[in-house]
C-alpha cells in the first residue's frame, strides 16, 4: 500500500489500484493514528475536567487556590475551555472523522505517517498554548485564547489532516457519497477557513472596534456549527443505522438537513451580539438565520427518531447507541433552544447570564461529547480487535455523564433566568411608582446555591470521566483473547452472530 504522496494526490495516474478493502482491514489500517489521537483526547479530557472543577469551585469559594497566580479564575477557566475544545474535542473528532472517512471511502488508510505527524504537531501546539495561558499570555479573545506562538503549529497540524482527507476521499472506492462524508468533507474544508480568517483578523492584524466582536462570534459560533456539529452529525448518521443494522429512515431528509445547515449556519453567530453596538440589520440577519436553523434541526431530529422507532430495545445493549441517541436528542433540544435564545425578547433576559453557559455545555457536552464517547466505544474495539473490559464501567460512565450534564444544564438555566429577571424587573409599589432593580451583588448572592449545585454536577461528570479513562487504559493493556481472528466475533451478542 506504500505509495508516494504525489501518486496519492492524483489517483488516476497511480498504478496502485487498490481493490475494495474489507472493513476489518480498513479498521486495522487506522490503528496507530487512531490510538494517538484518542489517547491524547482522553488525557486532555481529564486535564480539562480538573480545570473545570477548579473554576467551578472558585465561583462559590472565591479563595480556592486564590493565591496561586496561574490558577486564578481568568486562567483556570480559559485552561478548561481550551483543554476540552482543542485538546479533547478536536483530538477526538480527528480520530472519529478519519476512521469514518476511511470506512466510508472503502479504502485502507494511506499515509498513516502524515496523520501521526499531524497528531504530534496538534498536541504540541495545544500543550504550548495551555502553558501560554497558564503563564498569563492569553489573548483574551474567547475561544482563541492560545497565544500567537502556539497557533502556527496548530495550523500546520490541521493542514496535514486536511491534505490526508482529500487523499482518502480521492482514493475512495465507494460510488455513492454517504451523507456522513458530506458532513465530514465540509467540516474539514470549513475549519481552516474559519480559523485562518479569525487568527488574521483578530490576532495578527486586528480589526478595529466592534468588527472584532463580530469576527470573534462569527468564529466561535461557527466552530460549533461548521466543525463540531457536522462531525457529530456525521457520526450519528453512521453509527445509528450501523448499530441497529437498519438504514436511516429518510435519506432524502438527511441530505436536505446537510444543505440547509451549510446555507444557514454561517450567519447565526451574530445572535451573540444582540443588543450590542453592531448594526441592527446585522443582528436581525443573525436572528433570521438562527430561526432558519430550525429546518435542519427538525429534519435531523425527526430522521433520528424515526430510525430508532421499533428498535429502541437495542439501547439496553449497545453502549454506542446509548451515547449516540442521548447526543442526538440533545442536539435537537439545544439547537431549538438556541434558536429561541436568538429572539430579542428572550435574549434580553438570558444574555450575559449563566443561562448561556448552560446552553454552551448543552451543545458541546450533552450533544457533541456524548456522541464522541459513543463513537469511541464503537471504534476502539474494532481497531484493537478486543472488547471493552468492563461493561459496568461503561454503564457508570453513561449514567454519571448523562445525569451530571442534565443537572448542570438545568441548574445553569434556572440560575440564568433568575439572574436575568431580577436584573431587569423594576418593582412596582402600591402608589404605582417603579423602584430600582435588584442590586447586582444581591443577584449574585442568589445564584450561589445554583453554582454549588453546578459543582456537584461537575463532580458527577468527573466520576464518569474517570470510569471512561480506566476502561480506556484497561482495553489498551489487556491481552487480546486467543482465537479471535476478526472483529465480528465479538461485535454481536452471541445469538446475533452472522454465520458464514
Partner 1 sequence: MPEWFLYFVALPMAMLVVCSAVYGLYWASKKGQLQELEAGSKVIFDAEEPEGVPTDHVLNQPKVATVKKA
Binding site for partner 1 (CB under 8 A): 22-24, 104, 174-179, 186, 189-190, 193, 197, 200-201, 205-208, 211, 238, 241-248, 250-252, 254-255, 259, 262-263, 311, 314, 316-321, 377-378, 387-388, 391, 394-395, 488, 491-496, 498
- Closest CB to partner 1 among 174 and 406? 174
In the complex, minimum distance from the CB of residue 36 to partner 1, in angstroms, rounded to a whole number: 24
Element (H, E) at 483: none
Grid cell digits, residue 32? 496507530
- Closest CB to partner 1 among 84 and 102? 102
- Closest CB to partner 1 among 244 and 343? 244
Cα 117 from Cα 5, distance rounded (Å): 14
100, HSE (Cβ side, Cα atoms, 13 Å): 31
In the complex, minimum distance from the CB of residue 259 to partner 1, in angstroms, rounded to a whole number: 7
| Phi, psi for residue 17 in degrees, rounded to 5 | -90, 105
Query: Are residues 240 and 321 in contact, defined by beta-carbon separation less than 8 angstroms?
Result: yes
| Angle, vertex CA 130, rays to CA 124 and CA 136, nearest 5 | 135
In the complex, minimum distance from the CB of residue 197 to partner 1, in angstroms, rounded to a whole number: 6
DSSP 249: S
Query: Are residues 487 and 27 in contact, defined by beta-carbon separation less than 8 angstroms?
Result: yes
In the complex, minimum distance from the CB of residue 455 to partner 1, in angstroms, rounded to a whole number: 30
| Phi, psi for residue 434 in degrees, rounded to 5 | -80, 135
Bridge partners for 428 per DSSP: 434
Cα 230 from Cα 236, distance rounded (Å): 10
- Closest CB to partner 1 among 211 and 444? 211
- Closest CB to partner 1 among 205 and 429? 205
In the complex, minimum distance from the CB of residue 6 to partner 1, in angstroms, rounded to a whole number: 24
Q: How crowded is residue 298: how many other Cβ atoms within 10 Å of its Cβ?
A: 16
Cα 241 from Cα 97, distance rounded (Å): 17
- Closest CB to partner 1 among 19 and 176? 176
- Closest CB to partner 1 among 197 and 406? 197
In the complex, minimum distance from the CB of residue 281 to partner 1, in angstroms, rounded to a whole number: 18
Any alpha helices (H) in 142-228, and if so which ranges? 151-170, 179-199, 210-223
In the complex, minimum distance from the CB of residue 380 to partner 1, in angstroms, rounded to a whole number: 12
Coil, strand or helix: which one is 314?
helix
Q: How crowded is residue 436: how many other Cβ atoms within 10 Å of its Cβ?
A: 7
In the complex, minimum distance from the CB of residue 354 to partner 1, in angstroms, rounded to a whole number: 34
| Phi, psi for residue 310 in degrees, rounded to 5 | 90, -10
- Closest CB to partner 1 among 141 and 451? 141
Amino acid at each position: 500500500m506504500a505509495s508516494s504522496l504525489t501518486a496519492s494526490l492524483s489517483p488516476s495516474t497511480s498504478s496502485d489500484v487498490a481493490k475494495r478493502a474489507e472493513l476489518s482491514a480498513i479498521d486495522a489500517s487506522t490503528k496507530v493514528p487512531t490510538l494517538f489521537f484518542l489517547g491524547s483526547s482522553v488525557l486532555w479530557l481529564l486535564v480539562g475536567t480538573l480545570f473545570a472543577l477548579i473554576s467551578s469551585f472558585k465561583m462559590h469559594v472565591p479563595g480556592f487556590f486564590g493565591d496561586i497566580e496561574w490558577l486564578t479564575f481568568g486562567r483556570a477557566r480559559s485552561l478548561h475551555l481550551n483543554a476540552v475544545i482543542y485538546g479533547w474535542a478536536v483530538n477526538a473528532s480527528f480520530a472519529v472523522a478519519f476512521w469514518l472517512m476511511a470506512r466510508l471511502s472503502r479504502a485502507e488508510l494511506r499515509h498513516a505517517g502524515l496523520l501521526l505527524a499531524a497528531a504530534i504537531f496538534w498536541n504540541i501546539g495545544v500543550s504550548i498554548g495551555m502553558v501560554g495561558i497558564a503563564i498569563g499570555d492569553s489573548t483574551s479573545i474567547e475561544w482563541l485564547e492560545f497565544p500567537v506562538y502556539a497557533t502556527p503549529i496548530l495550523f500546520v497540524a490541521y493542514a496535514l489532516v486536511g491534505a490526508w482527507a482529500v487523499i482518502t476521499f480521492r482514493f475512495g472506492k465507494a460510488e455513492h457519497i454517504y451523507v456522513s462524508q458530506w458532513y465530514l468533507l465540509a467540516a474539514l474544508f470549513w475549519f481552516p477557513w474559519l480559523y485562518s480568517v479569525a487568527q488574521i483578523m483578530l490576532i495578527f492584524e486586528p480589526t478595529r472596534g466592534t468588527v472584532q466582536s463580530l469576527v470573534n462570534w462569527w468564529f466561535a459560533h461557527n466552530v460549533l456549527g461548521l466543525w463540531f456539529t457536522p462531525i457529530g452529525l456525521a457520526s450519528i448518521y453512521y453509527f445509528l443505522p450501523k448499530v441497529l443494522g437498519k438504514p436511516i429512515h429518510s435519506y432524502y431528509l438527511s441530505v436536505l438537513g446537510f444543505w440547509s445547515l451549510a446555507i444557514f449556519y454561517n450567519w447565526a453567530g451574530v445572535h451573540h451580539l444582540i443588543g450590542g453596538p453592531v448594526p441592527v440589520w446585522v443582528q436581525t440577519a443573525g436572528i433570521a438565520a438562527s430561526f432558519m436553523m430550525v429546518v435542519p434541526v427538525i429534519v435531523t431530529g425527526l430522521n433520528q427518531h424515526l430510525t430508532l422507532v421499533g428498535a429502541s430495545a437495542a439501547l439496553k445493549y449497545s453502549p454506542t447507541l446509548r451515547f449516540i441517541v442521548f447526543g442526538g436528542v440533545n442536539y435537537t433540544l439545544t439547537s431549538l433552544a438556541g434558536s429561541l435564545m436568538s429572539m430579542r425578547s428572550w435574549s434580553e433576559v438570558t444574555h450575559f447570564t449563566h443561562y448561556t453557559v448552560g446552553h454552551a455545555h448543552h451543545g458541546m457536552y450533552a450533544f457533541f461529547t456524548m456522541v464522541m464517547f459513543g463513537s469511541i466505544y464503537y471504534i476502539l474495539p474494532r481497531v484493537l480487535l478486543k472488547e471493552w473490559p468492563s461493561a459496568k464501567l461503561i454503564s457508570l460512565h453513561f449514567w454519571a455523564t448523562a445525569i451530571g450534564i442534565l443537572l448542570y444544564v438545568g441548574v445553569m438555566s434556572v440560575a440564568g433566568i433568575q439572574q436575568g429577571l431580577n436584573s431587569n424587573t423594576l418593582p412596582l409599589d402600591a402608589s404605582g411608582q417603579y423602584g430600582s432593580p435588584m442590586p447586582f451583588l444581591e443577584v449574585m448572592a442568589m445564584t450561589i446555591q445554583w453554582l454549588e449545585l453546578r459543582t456537584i454536577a461537575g463532580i458527577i461528570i468527573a466520576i464518569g470521566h474517570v470510569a471512561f479513562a480506566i476502561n480506556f487504559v484497561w482495553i489498551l493493556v489487556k491481552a487480546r483473547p486467543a482465537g479471535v481472528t476478526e472483529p465480528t466475533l465479538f461485535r454481536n451478542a452471541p445469538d446475533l452472530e452472522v454465520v458464514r
